[in-house]
Amino acid sequence: MTLIDYGALALFAVLWIGYSWLTSGEPVLSRQSLNQAMAERRRQWIYNSLSRDLKMIDTQIMAGLQNGTAFFASTSIFAIGGCFALLGQTDRVDAVFRDLAFVEYSGRAAFEMKVVGLTALFGYSFFKFGWSYRLFNYCTILFGALPMMHDTHADRAAAERAADQVIRMNIIAARHFNAGLRTIFLSIGYLGWFIGSYMFMASTLFVIFVLIRRQFFSEARRAIMDHLQP
């Protein structure tokens, strides 16, 4: 581990925290991210469900959200297993890396530390996906407690309070899901560290650039934004 390695790791952490703040907090310069815009669409969806008694479509959406979260949680577990398998093959990897001219090989101890860091990333994503799955489960239960149409008409304020509970739970679950997915994306940049510290910084910057473009300047964002919104 050299000073540039620590600098690259610090850059990775700063970019991760900064990107999370840009996409999860208040809109920056009055420009919503894709995640923030989708939070508003979640609110519209739940409020719309108050106008119908038959909510099979809504429950299918809930199930789809849970299934997607479960898929990524399982993927994180497999990735963690792959990292442990890689640790078990350190001697073989050590022999391969020594012969690669383009790899900035720092020794066996540094390699093992990098693998442990990658394992920690996947472990973090698993906990985020696991908690998100549980929150979507809670959201489904809260959704089932929404009043029927005649009860909604009788007490609209109470119905909207119940809907707000579902909305908040759904948004929180989505926030944890996005955090887990963000970690998976950034792990691609982290892989550059196995080649060298400069490659680590370059790959991290590239991943952040792609993610920012998707959140603020992509066709997906334009597809869901009203024409009057920035």
What integer is the mean pLDDT of 195-224?
A: 91
pLDDT recorded at residue 163: 93
Give the pLDDT confidence of 142-162 residue by residue, as tens digits: 999 899 989 888 899 999 999
Residue 225 pLDDT level (bands cut at 50, 70, 90): confident
Per cent of the chain over pLDDT 70 is 91
Between 91 and 220, name the one with better pLDDT: 220
pLDDT recorded at residue 228: 41
Average pLDDT, the chain: 88
What integer is the mean pLDDT of 222-226?
A: 81
Do residues 180 and 129 touch, judged by C-beta distance below 8 A? yes
Tokens of 105: 């090989």
CA contacts within 13 A on the Cβ side of 215: 22
Q: Is 50 exceeded by the pLDDT of residue 101?
A: yes
How far is it, in rounded angstroms, from Cα 196 to Cα 202?
10
Q: Is 191 part of any domain?
A: yes
Give the pLDDT confidence of 51-84 residue by residue, as tens digits: 888 888 898 999 999 999 999 999 999 999 999 9
Three-state SS sequence of the chain? CCHHHHHHHHHHHHHHHHHHHHHHCCCECCECCHHHHHHHHHHHHHHHHCCCCCCHHHHHHHHHHHHHHHHHHHHHHHHHHHHHHHHHCHHHHHHHHHCCCCCCCCCHHHHHHHHHHHHHHHHHHHHHHHHHHHHHHHHHHHHHCCCCHHHHHHCHHHHHHHHHHHHHHHHHHHHHHHHHHHHHHHHHHHHHHHCCHHHHHHHHHHHHHHHHHHHHCCHHHHHHCCCCCC
Do residues 196 and 104 touch, judged by C-beta distance below 8 A? yes
pLDDT recorded at residue 105: 67
User: Looking at the 3D structure of the chain, how many domains does it have?
Assistant: 1
Range of the domain at 142: 3-24+31-51+58-224
Q: Which of 2-6, 42-46, 205-209 has the lowest mean pLDDT?
A: 2-6
Tokens of 44: 């519209």
